[in-house]
Amino acid sequence: MTDDGTACGTFLAGMYQLRRAAIEEQLRSAKVEESDQICCTDGTGCFTNAKGTPWECYPFLPDCMDKIQPEFFLYTPEKTNNQTINYNNLNASVQAITMSNKRPFFVEIHGYGESWPKQYLFDMKDGLIALGNNVLIVRWTTGSKGPDYFKASANTQTVGAAIALVMNSLIEQNKVDLSLSTVVGFSLGAHVAGYIGDRLPGLRRIIGLDPAGPMFACQPIQTRLDPTDALFVQAIHTNGDNFFYGGAGTLEQMGDIDFYANGGQIQAGCDRGVPQAVHDILHLNFSSMGDDLSCSHDRAHDLFIETVNEAANPSTSCNYMSFPCDSSADWTAGKCFQCGSNGCPTFGYTTDIGTPYSGKFYFNTQSDNTLSGEYCGSQYLVSLTSDVDAKGNITVTLFGPDGHSNPEAFQTSEDTLTANTPQPRVMVTPWNTKSVDQIQLVYNRYTSLIHKDGVTHWTLTASSISDTNGKIVSSLANLPVDDNITLSILYQ
C-alpha cells in the first residue's frame, strides 16, 4: 500500500461491491429506506445520504437517539463513583453534576460492537483520573452493534452530534473548558470524534486510535476524522492491512500528526488470520472477529493507555520515540531510523498543541508485554549482510547487560537476505535494556516442493547495531550460519 492512489482505488472498489451487496440484501428483506434524509427531533439535526453529497458513501441513514440511547458516565478525581448524564433531560442533568472546569476534560468513545463493559475504556479512565483529569465515558453500543457495520458507520454522525450537544451543555454551565478538552475515539469512535469537532469549533485535541478504514478511508473529509476537526489532531494506525485480510483500520493520514506502530498494518505478535478474516469481512461482521483478527486493531488503545500510565514519570519511563518516514515499506526496510532537525516526536498522551512536528512518523514495539509489562521498549537498528542469497526465516534475539528481547522475526520464510547487501530492520528490547552487546540468530531455510529451497549454509560477512542516539557497534567477522543452528554474535 505504498501507492496511496492505487490503494484507495482498490479499497473503494472492494467497498463498492460490499455496499452493493448490502443494499441488495436490504431489498430482498424489503427493508430499504425510501428517503435520502432523516431529521431527528432529539436536537442532533438532519442527515442525508443523497447522491452528490459527501455522505452518499453511506448506504443507510443513521438512527436517532431514541433508538441508539447513548449513556454518559462522568468520572472526576474528587468523586469515587461515576455521575451520569441523562441525554433526555440534558441541561438539568448537567446542572446537578459536580466537577471543576479547571481540570483537563477527556471524552472516551468506543468503536464497533455491542459488548459491555469495554475494559480498555475503564483502564484508560483510571490512568487519566490519576493524572488529575475529568473523564466522560460514552456508551453507544445499541448504535454500534453488529452485524450491520454499514448502519453502525452511519450512526457515527448522530452519535457525534449528540456528544457535541452534551459537551456544549457542560461548557455553557461552566463545567468544562473547551480549550482544555480532548476527545479520544477508537476505531469508529475516532470518526465520531471528528463529527464532534465539526460542531465544536475550538476543541483542543482529538486522538484517533486506529481510525476505522471500511466506509471512511479514501472518503471526503466531511465524513471522517481529519485535521480540521480540532486545533490538534493526533492519530495512531495499527491495523491498516489490506481490507480483505482483516484490516479494520487504514494507513491514510487523518491527523496533523499520524503515528504508525510497527508499520501500521499488522502488529508484532499478531497473526493475519486470513481464512476467518475473509468470512467476517464479507459479512461485515467485525464484532465476531477472534483475538487474532482484533489483535492488531486493539493494540492501538493498549499503546495509548501505556502512554497515559507513563506520563506521571516521563523522565524515567519508556516513550514511543517515532521517526519521520514516507511509507510503511520504507520503515519496514529500515530506511528511516533518523530524526529530523527538530528531533523526534513521541506518540501518545503528552503530544499536544504546540508540538513542532507534523506528518507521518513510525515506531516499533515489542511483540508482547510479558518481559517488561509493556509493549514500549528501546529501539535498535540491526543490519545483517550475507555472502549469498539466503531465503528463509531469520529470528533474532538481542541481549544486553540489563536484559534481552523476545525472539523477533528479522525476516519471514518468504523473504530473502540478498547477497552482499546490508539489510537493516528496527528491533525492540525491553525499556530497561539500555545497551546491546550480543545477538543470537537462528536461520530456518525456506523449503518448497515447487520452488527452489533456501541455502543450507551461508556466511554472515557483517552485522551492526545502532541505537536511537546514533551509537553503532559492528562486527566484520565472517561467521558461519547453518540451517536451524543458533549463532551467537558478540560485540565489543
Sign, CA torsion 314/318/319/323: positive
E strand or H helix at 440, and its extent? strand 438-445
Q: What is the DSSP string of 7-40?
A: HHHHHHHHHHHHHHHHHHHHHHTT---S-SEEEE
Active site residue 110: no
* Long-range pairs, 175-179, Cβ under 8 A, ≥24: 175/94, 175/97, 175/99, 175/101, 176/99, 176/101, 176/105, 176/134, 177/101, 177/102, 177/105, 178/202, 178/203, 178/204, 179/204
E strand or H helix at 490, and its extent? strand 486-490
Determine which one of 144, 181, 187, 367 is catalytic. 187
Distance CA 204, CA 201 (A): 9
Determine which one of 191, 237, 297, 301 is catalytic. 297
Q: Specify whether the CB–CB gap between 460 and 481 falls below 8 A.
A: yes
Determine which one of 63, 148, 198, 210 is catalytic. 210
Active site residue 297: yes
The grid coordinates of residue 235 equal 492519530
User: If you search the block for the grid coordinates 454518559, which residue do you land on?
Assistant: 72
Q: Residue 394 pairs with which residues in a beta bridge?
A: 411, 443
Residues 6+ apart with CB under 8 A from 430: 366, 371, 372, 377, 378, 403, 404, 405
**Half-sphere CA count of 363, side-chain side, radius 13 A:** 25
The grid coordinates of residue 186 equal 477508537
Query: Of 339, 348, 328, 444, which is closest to residue 393 (Cα–Cα)?
Result: 444
Residues 6+ apart with CB under 8 A from 195: 156, 157, 159, 160, 161, 164
**Half-sphere CA count of 8, side-chain side, radius 13 A:** 10
Active site residue 210: yes
Q: Specify whether the CB–CB gap between 291 and 320 falls below 8 A.
A: no
CA-based radius of gyration for the chain: 24
Q: Specify whether the CB–CB gap between 468 and 450 falls below 8 A.
A: no
Sign, CA torsion 328/330/335/340: negative
Catalytic residues: 187, 210, 297
